Structure 1
Amino acid sequence: MILVIVVAVLALLAGLAANRFLRPRLLSEDDDSGMAVKDLVGPLLTLTVLLLAFVLVTANGSYGKAEVSSRGEARALDQLVETAEYAPTAQRAEIQGAAVCYARAVRTQEWPAMADGHGSSAPSVWSTSFRRTFRALEGKSVFGMLIAADNKRSDEREERLTQATASIPSAILWFLLATLAITVIALGTCIPRRNNRGQLITLVVITALLTTTLCIIRDVDRPFGGIINVAPTAIADAEHEATRDFTANHPTTELPCTANGNSRTA
């Protein structure tokens, strides 16, 4: 994002410098004439629509899928905890305790890592614990329901991790950044050198709008980091519910993990 702003500012300065020193050599007409304010807006309309289209596609695509998968994962985890109520006491304690630890690991370790497009191995420790506990329940009616809930959780987590990576190729972002710079420099060259206050203000506004649009594209394309992000609200709620159920069913049993989701026996 900082790179986008720096390039835009440099392009604006380069455009103004070109207007000051290069324009007299390129044009021979009266220096008070030049591109009007309405002419400055027109050529950039197509580019603005293109950039906004990228924002809409990204927002409705990667960001939307990230939010849906995050909520779906939390619902699947909550269903897993509720289904464990039908399991024997020993397995119920293991499943509900692992569910709390899984939610903690996702919220405190994997979520910050996703801001950089990475995942964490901490939640996988507890998903392995789920499957290990399920083996003791084979043949029981609750077994199939637990497997279904855990498969749903696993699928939603995989989708969440997939959406954490950038969906727009870096080559496209570089192309848009180059287009922004070239457009601003060209527009700066075309405005008149005198009596140009309106054109200068318009050029600065257009540059700011295009820069903001490109920054939004860059920010929304990484839905778990930046200003516009998917917060771990759903998984935090699932953690709260799982903790409540575990405490109610096993008041004297300690959770098998620390506050950040790491195993106490590791």
Structure 2
Amino acid sequence: MPLIVYTLPNWVLGLALVALWLVAAQALCALFPDRWRERVTDLDRSVVLASLGVIATMNSLLLAFSAVSAWEAFGSADTAVQREGTAITQLARSLSLYDTAPSRLARERLRAYGRSVVTQEWPAMLQDKPSLSTRDALDGLFTALGDLKPTTSSQTALLNQAWTQANDLLTHRRERLQASKAKVPRTLWIVVLAGSLLTLVPLAAAPKGASSRCALFAVAAALALVFHFVATMDRPFLGSERVTPEAIEDALGIVQRLSARTP
């Protein structure tokens, strides 16, 4: 979906899609002249209904696959952000227990990385652009960890734990960046759109009547709602139902409190 779609409120996008599909249904009705409908036989109706069943089944499977894929991508993005926030918190606690001047510097570098994620990398990520400043902040964190020289067995254990947590942080950041690029492929959008329009064709070609028109518009509205769901979940970090950096902001609050307790 175009990025401009995700600037609309969720309800506006939903109403726009429903209206668009109703207009499409009405346009399909106009393709079949009344004189053609008058010559429809019972055999033609049977063929239309059979075709409708086959097309609707195939398109329903495609729509279900698209919806599940979008939902899984959204869940993966949210999980990656939550885990990154957890990794920041765990690393901050390990560094606070280490409690030396170099470890306090490493903790400040960790806080600088978190702030850079929220203020620099997050906006860049929404535009599919890299954030060099955040990458530099992460490199600075690893450099500060490399400067830690344990002098006791407890510090050695804490440093090993800190390195594990730092590597976890790196992994979760990579997962978040990968999840930000997740979207329904263009080819699948085209196939699902074509299949949905074909689902409406048999109903649009049916003889005019209140029941046939109600069925046509009901199916069109249902297709619009499914498209709305897929579009909303398509880009996890965009739109009204987006994944936010709240977990990382909460982790930064914990880092701040730990820093305030350090003399």
Aligned residue number for residue 95 of structure 2: 84
Using the TM superposition, give the Cα deviation of residue 220 of structure 1 relative to its aligned residue in structure 2, in angstroms: 1.3
Q: C-alpha displacement at 1:210, in angstroms? A: 0.9
Q: TM-score, normalised by structure 1?
A: 0.78
Which residue number in structure 2 is paired with residue 63 of structure 1? 74
Superposed displacement of residue 83, structure 1: 0.7
SS at match of 1:227: coil
Partner of 2:31, secondary structure, is: helix
Q: Decide whether the 8 Å contact of 1:12 with 1:204 is kept in 2.
A: yes
Q: Secondary structure at the match of 1:137?
A: coil
CA 1:27/1:112 → structure 2, altered by over 3 Å: closer, same or farther?
Answer: farther
Contact 2:96/2:258 (<8 A) preserved:
no
Task: Tell me whether 169-178 or 224-233 shows the greater mean CA deviation.
Answer: 224-233
Check whether the contact 1:77–1:238 (CA below 8 A) recurs between aligned residues: yes
Structure 1 residue runs without a partner (length 5+): 251-266
The 1:113–1:207 alpha-carbon spacing in structure 2 relative to 1, beyond 3 Å, is farther
**Two-structure CA RMSD over aligned residues (Å):** 3.0
Cα deviation, residue 167, structure 1: 4.2
1:225 aligns with 2:241: no
- SS of match in other structure, 1:168: coil
- 1:183 maps to 199
Q: How does 1:196-211 map to 2 (within 5 A)?
A: 196-211=209-224
User: Structure 2 CA distance, aligned partners of 1:114 and 1:137?
Assistant: 32
8 Å Cα contact 2:62/2:192 also seen in 1 = no
Deviation at 1:207, TM superposition (A): 0.9
Deviation for aligned residue 1:137: 1.2
Q: Which residue of 1 aligns with 2:8?
A: none
Q: How far apart in 2 are the matches of 1:205 and 1:116? A: 36
Which of 41, 59, 62 aligns to 1:50? It is 62
Q: Report if aligned partners of 1:67, 1:230 keep a CA contact under 8 Å in 2.
A: yes
Larger % of helix: which? 2
Query: In the alignment, is the contact (CA less than 8 A) between 2:77 and 2:236 conserved in 1?
Result: yes
Mapped to 2, the partners of 1:138 and 1:170 lie a distance apart of 52
Is 1:127 matched with 2:138?
A: yes
Distance 1:62 1:223 in 2: 7
Paired with 1:212 and 1:117, the residues of 2 have a C-alpha distance of 27
- Cα distance in structure 2, aligned partners of 1:219 and 1:119: 24
